[in-house]
Amino acid sequence: MTIIYEEQAAEHIHGICLKTGPPRLVGVELEWLVRDARDPALPVTAERISAAVAAFAPAQRLSSGTGVAASTGVPASTGLPSSSEPGVLPSGALLTAEPGGQLEVSSQPADSLASCVRDTSADLAALRAALGAAGLELAGIGLDPIRSPHRILHLPRYAAMEKFFDRGGPWGRQMMGSTASVQVCVDAGDESDGYLGYRWRWRLLHAIGPVLVAAFANSPLRDGRPTGWLSSRQQVWAHMDPGRTRPPQSGEPDPRPGWVEYVLNAQVMCVRDPGSEDWSAPPGLTLRDWVRDRPRAGNGTRLRAPTAEDLAYHVSTLFPPVRPHGHLELRMIDAQPGDGWMVPLALTSALLGDEPASAAAMAAAERLWAGHGPPGEWPASRPAGTGNGNGNGVGNGAGHGNGNGARGENPWPRAARLGPADPAIARASRECFAAARSALDRMAAPAEITAAVDAFIERYVSKDRCPADDLLEAADDLPETTNRPEEAQ
């Protein structure tokens, strides 16, 4: 293992965050809540999920029967697929479990939108069939509307993550145990200054981020009650460590220097130790501190020197809306019901892959951001309109909430609270969808994809609605629960 120091770390981060070249590939990572098909309020055990997806386990795990995570040396007693030992779906897509038992399907990079949708649809059909045979179902919702968070994946990484986030309240446990998203993955782009260049694509994705949050908001409930946010998943992120959840701040056209500073200044969440189950890091330790000074741990001993592997692990614990992973990973979209995931995938692909559509989306986003600073930025101060999820600045739970000063609020939290009910966001959303729909025709997208986008426009965009509105209308049919999270009381 190679020990790294500050200058080496900065050079490494700068060198790998964006792999430039002609943009060609697209992928999608789909997180799903896993529920009992008859009673969605019931907890689902790790053993039940593990048994249901056993057919997708890699051959080496089935033959060895050891259940030991290769990269940690720690027994994975639950048998759930993990990042170190993922399941494999028919197309080669990877299947992993999140801390609360959510399942994530990570497609292979595809040469086209059509092939990505085709392969992912087939994988989901296989996964749904396996879960259905065990009485389970996948639920595409951004935040579990009924069950309180409960961690069932017991690995050192997640224990350290839980300990880290607990210092800031209950929001980290909600993120880990109750949330699900659609993550669209696209190539960074080439070195040009045009719409295929990485600078433009980075700027456009941040500028339209609030549009994606609002259009696909699908998490308005917690414990069966409205939170006042149409995307309560984004409410959770808004209350967490801003040094790892907000967009990087950079006044430069090239995003790489800003990302280097973001990574170095972010607090270290865990220090890997294959011989221990305690990976917790000293409170307040940043990566810059670690690579520069080798500070002391809580027991007074000096931390070991960090390695390139530690740097990669640290980057995997950062969760900005757009994460540069060589490619660009969009993390701001709530999980969607059924096959609704293909709509944000198609929308993003069209707006990035077609020059007129890309220009139209940027123009729409710039109008939305007028008066709010550079498009896509979200300063780290506590956002206006946030509160305790029970009417303190986010509405009274009877609707979308309309806190004072909404027009002056940064578009990111505004989109999460109000969704398309905000007139400026609704206008930008209609313009982006119209541009994308025309682009899909020019791209000769398959009828299955254009039909899904048309249905979404008709049901939601044209009516200034989003999937969260459906959940709010059905809220009276949800089972009651008295086990409310501390923050919502």
Q: How confident is the model at residue 68 (pLDDT cuts 50, 70, 90)?
A: very low
Of residues 339 and 390, more confidence is placed in 339
Q: Mean of the pLDDT values across residues 107-135?
A: 98
What DSSP string runs through 199-256? HHHHHHHHHTHHHHHHHT--B-EETTEE-S-SBHHHHHHHTS-HHHHSPPP-SSSSSH
Q: How confident is the model at residue 87 (pLDDT cuts 50, 70, 90)?
A: very high
Please state, in angstroms and rounded to a whole number, the distance separating the CA atoms of residues 182 and 26.
13
pLDDT in tens, 28-50: 999 999 999 999 999 999 999 99
98, 161 Cβ separation under 8 angstroms: no
What is the predicted pLDDT for the residue at 485? 36
What is the predicted pLDDT for the residue at 23? 97
231, 468 Cβ separation under 8 angstroms: yes
Please state, in angstroms and rounded to a whole number, the distance separating the CA atoms of residues 236 and 418.
15
Whether residue 65 has pLDDT greater than 80: no
Please state, in angstroms and rounded to a whole number, the distance separating the CA atoms of residues 102 and 33.
5
Q: How confident is the model at residue 73 (pLDDT cuts 50, 70, 90)?
A: very low
Please state, in angstroms and rounded to a whole number, the distance separating the CA atoms of residues 217 and 206.
17
Of residues 318 and 72, more confidence is placed in 318
Q: Supply the mean pLDDT for the chain.
A: 89
Of residues 348 and 249, more confidence is placed in 348
Task: Please list the alpha-helical segments (H only) found in 328-486.
Answer: 342-353, 355-369, 411-418, 423-442, 447-459, 467-473
The token pair that represents 355 in the structure block: 């020059």
Of residues 304 and 194, more confidence is placed in 194
Q: How confident is the model at residue 275 (pLDDT cuts 50, 70, 90)?
A: confident
Whether residue 481 has pLDDT greater than 70: no
Strands 136-139, 181-186: pairing is unpaired
pLDDT in tens, 392-426: 333 333 344 443 345 679 999 999 999 999 999 99
Please state, in angstroms and rounded to a whole number, the distance separating the CA atoms of residues 310 and 296.
17
Beta bridge partners of 182: 30, 333
The token pair that represents 422 in the structure block: 């905000």
238, 413 Cβ separation under 8 angstroms: yes
What is the predicted pLDDT for the residue at 306? 93
Q: How confident is the model at residue 78 (pLDDT cuts 50, 70, 90)?
A: low
62, 87 Cβ separation under 8 angstroms: no
Of residues 275 and 10, more confidence is placed in 10
Please state, in angstroms and rounded to a whole number, the distance separating the CA atoms of residues 99 and 102.
7
pLDDT in tens, 186-229: 999 999 999 999 999 999 999 999 999 999 999 999 999 999 99
87, 57 Cβ separation under 8 angstroms: yes
pLDDT in tens, 258-272: 999 999 999 999 999
Q: Mean of the pLDDT values across residues 87-98?
A: 97
What DSSP string runs through 183-202? EEEE---BSSSSTTBHHHHH
pLDDT in tens, 414-469: 999 999 999 999 999 999 999 999 999 999 999 999 999 999 999 999 999 999 99
